Amino acid sequence: MNRFNQINDSFESYQSLIQLYEKYKDESFGDIHLEFHKFFAANMSAALGAVLDKFTANLNSIHFDSIDPQIEAILLKNNFLTYFGKQKAVDTNKTTIKYQRLDSTDGRYFKSYVIKELIEGHNSDLPQMSKGVKEKIVEAICEIFVNAQIHSETEFIYTCGQFFPNKNKIEFTIVDIGIGFREKINKRFETNLRAIKAIKWAVEEKRTTKEGISGGLGLAVLREFVTANKGKMQIVSNDGFYQFNNTGEIQKEFRGEFPGTIVNLQFRTDDDNNYLLKDEININDIF
Protein backbone atom coordinates (compact mmCIF):
# COMPACT_ATOMS: atom_id res chain seq x y z
CA MET A 1 0.00 0.00 0.00
CA ASN A 2 1.23 3.47 -0.86
CA ARG A 3 -0.43 6.18 1.20
CA PHE A 4 -0.12 9.86 0.28
CA ASN A 5 -1.30 12.33 2.89
CA GLN A 6 -0.39 15.68 1.46
CA ILE A 7 0.64 16.25 -2.16
CA ASN A 8 1.26 19.84 -3.10
CA ASP A 9 4.24 21.71 -4.56
CA SER A 10 6.57 21.06 -1.60
CA PHE A 11 9.96 19.39 -2.03
CA GLU A 12 8.64 16.54 0.14
CA SER A 13 5.67 16.00 -2.18
CA TYR A 14 7.94 15.59 -5.20
CA GLN A 15 10.15 13.32 -3.09
CA SER A 16 7.20 11.05 -2.31
CA LEU A 17 6.32 10.73 -6.02
CA ILE A 18 9.96 9.92 -6.77
CA GLN A 19 9.92 7.29 -4.04
CA LEU A 20 6.83 5.73 -5.62
CA TYR A 21 8.57 5.63 -8.99
CA GLU A 22 11.77 4.15 -7.55
CA LYS A 23 9.79 1.46 -5.71
CA TYR A 24 8.07 0.06 -8.79
CA LYS A 25 10.19 1.16 -11.76
CA ASP A 26 11.53 -2.35 -12.40
CA GLU A 27 8.27 -4.19 -11.67
CA SER A 28 6.12 -5.80 -14.38
CA PHE A 29 2.68 -7.47 -14.24
CA GLY A 30 2.22 -6.32 -10.64
CA ASP A 31 -0.55 -4.63 -8.71
CA ILE A 32 0.14 -1.13 -7.38
CA HIS A 33 -2.20 0.12 -4.67
CA LEU A 34 -2.58 3.82 -3.93
CA GLU A 35 -4.36 5.87 -1.25
CA PHE A 36 -4.79 9.63 -1.23
CA HIS A 37 -5.80 11.55 1.88
CA LYS A 38 -6.09 15.13 3.19
CA PHE A 39 -4.91 17.11 0.15
CA PHE A 40 -3.82 16.54 -3.44
CA ALA A 41 -3.07 19.63 -5.54
CA ALA A 42 -4.92 18.88 -8.77
CA ASN A 43 -2.13 20.18 -11.02
CA MET A 44 0.16 17.49 -9.58
CA SER A 45 -1.96 15.00 -11.56
CA ALA A 46 0.48 15.69 -14.40
CA ALA A 47 3.44 14.41 -12.37
CA LEU A 48 1.52 11.47 -10.93
CA GLY A 49 0.13 10.59 -14.38
CA ALA A 50 3.63 10.46 -15.86
CA VAL A 51 4.82 8.10 -13.12
CA LEU A 52 1.75 5.86 -13.36
CA ASP A 53 2.12 5.64 -17.15
CA LYS A 54 5.64 4.30 -16.61
CA PHE A 55 4.08 1.54 -14.49
CA THR A 56 1.25 0.71 -16.87
CA ALA A 57 3.78 0.53 -19.74
CA ASN A 58 5.17 -2.47 -17.83
CA LEU A 59 1.65 -3.92 -17.60
CA ASN A 60 1.25 -3.18 -13.91
CA SER A 61 -2.30 -2.58 -12.69
CA ILE A 62 -3.05 0.61 -10.77
CA HIS A 63 -5.60 0.46 -7.94
CA PHE A 64 -6.95 3.58 -6.25
CA ASP A 65 -8.00 1.86 -3.04
CA SER A 66 -8.97 4.86 -1.00
CA ILE A 67 -9.29 8.51 -1.95
CA ASP A 68 -10.79 11.16 0.31
CA PRO A 69 -14.08 12.33 -1.26
CA GLN A 70 -12.96 15.91 -1.88
CA ILE A 71 -9.78 14.72 -3.62
CA GLU A 72 -11.70 12.22 -5.71
CA ALA A 73 -14.18 14.92 -6.73
CA ILE A 74 -11.48 17.21 -8.07
CA LEU A 75 -9.58 14.39 -9.82
CA LEU A 76 -12.82 13.39 -11.54
CA LYS A 77 -13.54 16.96 -12.58
CA ASN A 78 -10.09 17.43 -14.09
CA ASN A 79 -10.44 14.08 -15.92
CA PHE A 80 -7.38 12.50 -14.27
CA LEU A 81 -9.23 9.51 -12.83
CA THR A 82 -11.07 8.92 -16.11
CA TYR A 83 -7.72 7.79 -17.53
CA PHE A 84 -7.93 5.03 -14.90
CA GLY A 85 -11.46 3.88 -15.63
CA LYS A 86 -13.60 6.17 -13.46
CA GLN A 87 -16.62 8.13 -14.65
CA LYS A 88 -15.84 11.81 -15.21
CA ALA A 89 -17.68 14.60 -13.39
CA VAL A 90 -18.77 18.05 -14.49
CA ASP A 91 -16.78 20.95 -13.07
CA THR A 92 -19.53 23.41 -12.20
CA ASN A 93 -17.12 25.79 -10.41
CA LYS A 94 -14.78 25.71 -13.38
CA THR A 95 -11.66 25.80 -11.24
CA THR A 96 -9.97 22.86 -12.91
CA ILE A 97 -7.68 22.93 -15.91
CA LYS A 98 -8.04 19.50 -17.46
CA TYR A 99 -5.40 16.82 -17.17
CA GLN A 100 -4.01 15.89 -20.59
CA ARG A 101 -1.51 13.45 -21.96
CA LEU A 102 -0.35 14.71 -25.33
CA ASP A 103 1.98 13.47 -28.00
CA SER A 104 5.01 15.73 -27.99
CA THR A 105 4.13 16.79 -31.54
CA ASP A 106 0.69 18.12 -30.47
CA GLY A 107 1.79 21.75 -30.12
CA ARG A 108 -1.22 23.19 -31.89
CA TYR A 109 -3.66 21.22 -29.81
CA PHE A 110 -1.77 22.23 -26.67
CA LYS A 111 -1.96 25.91 -27.55
CA SER A 112 -5.73 25.68 -28.17
CA TYR A 113 -6.18 23.77 -24.90
CA VAL A 114 -4.30 26.42 -22.90
CA ILE A 115 -6.30 29.25 -24.43
CA LYS A 116 -9.58 27.42 -23.91
CA GLU A 117 -8.82 26.30 -20.36
CA LEU A 118 -7.16 29.48 -19.13
CA ILE A 119 -8.96 32.21 -20.98
CA GLU A 120 -12.09 31.37 -22.92
CA GLY A 121 -13.51 28.88 -20.41
CA HIS A 122 -13.10 31.21 -17.46
CA ASN A 123 -14.19 34.60 -18.63
CA SER A 124 -16.93 35.25 -16.15
CA ASP A 125 -16.54 33.06 -13.14
CA LEU A 126 -13.01 33.55 -11.89
CA PRO A 127 -10.93 36.39 -10.54
CA GLN A 128 -10.63 38.92 -13.29
CA MET A 129 -7.19 38.88 -14.79
CA SER A 130 -6.05 41.70 -16.99
CA LYS A 131 -5.65 40.93 -20.70
CA GLY A 132 -1.90 41.49 -20.39
CA VAL A 133 -1.54 39.00 -17.53
CA LYS A 134 -3.57 36.36 -19.37
CA GLU A 135 -1.42 36.76 -22.46
CA LYS A 136 1.81 36.58 -20.49
CA ILE A 137 0.64 33.42 -18.70
CA VAL A 138 -0.31 31.68 -21.96
CA GLU A 139 2.99 32.76 -23.52
CA ALA A 140 5.02 31.46 -20.55
CA ILE A 141 3.23 28.11 -20.58
CA CYS A 142 3.71 27.74 -24.35
CA GLU A 143 7.45 28.49 -23.99
CA ILE A 144 7.75 25.62 -21.51
CA PHE A 145 5.77 23.21 -23.71
CA VAL A 146 7.97 24.04 -26.70
CA ASN A 147 11.09 23.57 -24.56
CA ALA A 148 9.93 20.07 -23.65
CA GLN A 149 9.12 19.41 -27.30
CA ILE A 150 12.53 20.54 -28.56
CA HIS A 151 14.86 19.31 -25.84
CA SER A 152 13.47 16.40 -23.86
CA GLU A 153 13.13 13.70 -26.56
CA THR A 154 9.92 12.66 -24.79
CA GLU A 155 7.12 10.65 -26.31
CA PHE A 156 4.40 12.26 -24.21
CA ILE A 157 3.88 15.54 -22.42
CA TYR A 158 1.55 15.63 -19.41
CA THR A 159 -0.17 18.83 -18.37
CA CYS A 160 -2.66 19.89 -15.76
CA GLY A 161 -3.57 23.03 -13.88
CA GLN A 162 -5.78 24.38 -11.16
CA PHE A 163 -7.26 27.75 -10.27
CA PHE A 164 -7.21 28.62 -6.57
CA PRO A 165 -9.69 31.53 -6.51
CA ASN A 166 -9.37 32.18 -2.76
CA LYS A 167 -5.62 32.52 -3.04
CA ASN A 168 -5.69 34.46 -6.34
CA LYS A 169 -3.40 32.04 -8.07
CA ILE A 170 -3.15 29.51 -10.88
CA GLU A 171 -0.86 26.53 -10.84
CA PHE A 172 0.07 24.83 -14.09
CA THR A 173 2.31 21.80 -14.42
CA ILE A 174 4.04 20.43 -17.52
CA VAL A 175 5.79 17.08 -17.30
CA ASP A 176 7.83 15.10 -19.78
CA ILE A 177 9.29 11.62 -19.54
CA GLY A 178 12.32 12.43 -21.65
CA ILE A 179 16.04 12.44 -20.98
CA GLY A 180 16.15 15.33 -18.49
CA PHE A 181 18.37 18.42 -18.34
CA ARG A 182 21.42 16.49 -17.12
CA GLU A 183 21.75 14.00 -19.98
CA LYS A 184 20.86 16.57 -22.62
CA ILE A 185 23.52 19.04 -21.45
CA ASN A 186 26.18 16.46 -20.68
CA LYS A 187 25.78 14.85 -24.11
CA ARG A 188 25.90 18.17 -25.93
CA PHE A 189 28.95 19.54 -24.14
CA GLU A 190 30.70 16.26 -23.24
CA THR A 191 30.66 17.13 -19.58
CA ASN A 192 29.47 15.52 -16.37
CA LEU A 193 27.25 17.97 -14.51
CA ARG A 194 24.93 16.81 -11.76
CA ALA A 195 21.23 17.38 -12.48
CA ILE A 196 20.95 20.41 -10.20
CA LYS A 197 23.89 22.13 -11.88
CA ALA A 198 22.47 21.32 -15.29
CA ILE A 199 19.18 23.00 -14.32
CA LYS A 200 20.99 25.98 -12.83
CA TRP A 201 22.97 26.38 -16.06
CA ALA A 202 19.87 26.15 -18.24
CA VAL A 203 17.78 28.77 -16.44
CA GLU A 204 20.30 31.50 -17.20
CA GLU A 205 19.67 33.58 -20.30
CA LYS A 206 21.14 32.50 -23.67
CA ARG A 207 21.96 28.97 -22.49
CA THR A 208 20.92 26.39 -25.06
CA THR A 209 21.82 22.86 -26.09
CA LYS A 210 20.64 23.44 -29.67
CA GLU A 211 23.47 23.13 -32.17
CA GLY A 212 23.91 25.69 -34.90
CA ILE A 213 21.03 27.86 -33.72
CA SER A 214 20.78 30.36 -30.89
CA GLY A 215 18.24 30.11 -28.11
CA GLY A 216 17.99 29.85 -24.36
CA LEU A 217 15.45 32.62 -23.87
CA GLY A 218 12.33 30.67 -22.91
CA LEU A 219 13.26 29.97 -19.28
CA ALA A 220 14.79 33.45 -18.90
CA VAL A 221 11.58 35.10 -20.16
CA LEU A 222 9.59 32.90 -17.78
CA ARG A 223 11.80 33.84 -14.83
CA GLU A 224 11.37 37.54 -15.54
CA PHE A 225 7.60 37.19 -15.74
CA VAL A 226 7.52 35.13 -12.53
CA THR A 227 9.50 37.92 -10.83
CA ALA A 228 7.14 40.65 -12.04
CA ASN A 229 4.05 38.58 -11.28
CA LYS A 230 5.34 37.47 -7.83
CA GLY A 231 4.73 33.90 -8.94
CA LYS A 232 6.87 30.80 -8.58
CA MET A 233 8.60 28.33 -10.86
CA GLN A 234 9.90 24.92 -9.92
CA ILE A 235 11.89 22.46 -11.99
CA VAL A 236 12.34 18.84 -11.01
CA SER A 237 14.62 16.93 -13.36
CA ASN A 238 16.15 13.57 -12.44
CA ASP A 239 17.37 14.15 -8.85
CA GLY A 240 17.56 17.94 -9.14
CA PHE A 241 15.12 20.44 -7.60
CA TYR A 242 15.20 24.12 -8.47
CA GLN A 243 12.77 26.74 -7.25
CA PHE A 244 12.63 30.42 -8.07
CA ASN A 245 10.34 33.09 -6.67
CA ASN A 246 10.64 36.65 -5.48
CA THR A 247 12.35 35.53 -2.28
CA GLY A 248 15.16 33.87 -4.23
CA GLU A 249 16.36 30.50 -5.48
CA ILE A 250 16.38 27.10 -3.81
CA GLN A 251 18.42 24.17 -5.13
CA LYS A 252 18.23 20.71 -3.59
CA GLU A 253 18.74 17.06 -4.48
CA PHE A 254 16.27 14.22 -4.09
CA ARG A 255 16.90 10.67 -3.02
CA GLY A 256 16.19 8.76 -6.24
CA GLU A 257 15.26 10.24 -9.58
CA PHE A 258 12.17 11.45 -11.39
CA PRO A 259 12.02 9.81 -14.85
CA GLY A 260 12.02 13.08 -16.80
CA THR A 261 11.26 16.70 -15.98
CA ILE A 262 8.48 18.50 -14.10
CA VAL A 263 8.01 22.23 -14.57
CA ASN A 264 5.52 23.62 -12.08
CA LEU A 265 4.41 27.21 -12.50
CA GLN A 266 2.45 29.38 -10.12
CA PHE A 267 1.03 32.69 -11.28
CA ARG A 268 -0.84 35.34 -9.35
CA THR A 269 -4.16 36.27 -10.92
CA ASP A 270 -4.38 39.58 -8.99
CA ASP A 271 -1.28 40.95 -10.70
CA ASP A 272 -1.96 44.60 -11.60
CA ASN A 273 1.22 45.20 -13.63
CA ASN A 274 0.50 46.68 -17.02
CA TYR A 275 2.18 44.28 -19.41
CA LEU A 276 0.69 46.07 -22.39
CA LEU A 277 2.74 49.23 -21.90
CA LYS A 278 4.08 50.56 -25.15
CA ASP A 279 7.77 49.91 -25.55
CA GLU A 280 10.39 52.16 -27.02
CA ILE A 281 11.75 49.81 -29.67
CA ASN A 282 11.82 51.36 -33.11
CA ILE A 283 10.52 48.93 -35.71
CA ASN A 284 13.37 49.99 -38.01
CA ASP A 285 15.98 49.23 -35.40
CA ILE A 286 15.36 45.57 -34.70
CA PHE A 287 18.07 44.06 -36.87
Residue 147 binds to another protein (criterion: CB under 8 A): yes
Q: Tell me the C-alpha distance between 249 and 265, whole Å.
A: 14
Q: Tell me the C-alpha distance between 106 and 39, whole Å.
A: 31
Output the smallest distance, CB 197 to another protein, in A.
6
Residue 228 binds to another protein (criterion: CB under 8 A): no
Q: Tell me the C-alpha distance between 88 and 13, whole Å.
A: 25
The stretch near another protein (CB under 8 A) out of 16-24, 107-115, 120-128, 248-256 is 107-115
**First and final CA of the chain: distance in angstroms?**
60
Task: Confirm if 27 and 60 have CB atoms less than 8 A apart.
Answer: yes
Interacting residue with another protein among 1, 166, 272, 286 (CB under 8 A): 286
Interacting residue with another protein among 92, 166, 214, 247 (CB under 8 A): 214
Residue 264, CB half-sphere, CA atoms under 13 Å: how many? 28
The stretch near another protein (CB under 8 A) out of 34-42, 82-90, 132-140, 247-255 is 132-140
Residue 255 binds to another protein (criterion: CB under 8 A): no
Give 3-state DSSP helix, strand, coil % of the chain, rounded to 5: 40, 30, 30
Residues that bind another protein (CB under 8 A): 107-108, 111, 135, 138-139, 142-143, 145-147, 149-150, 185, 189, 191-193, 197, 200-201, 204-208, 210, 212-218, 221, 275-279, 281, 283-284, 286-287
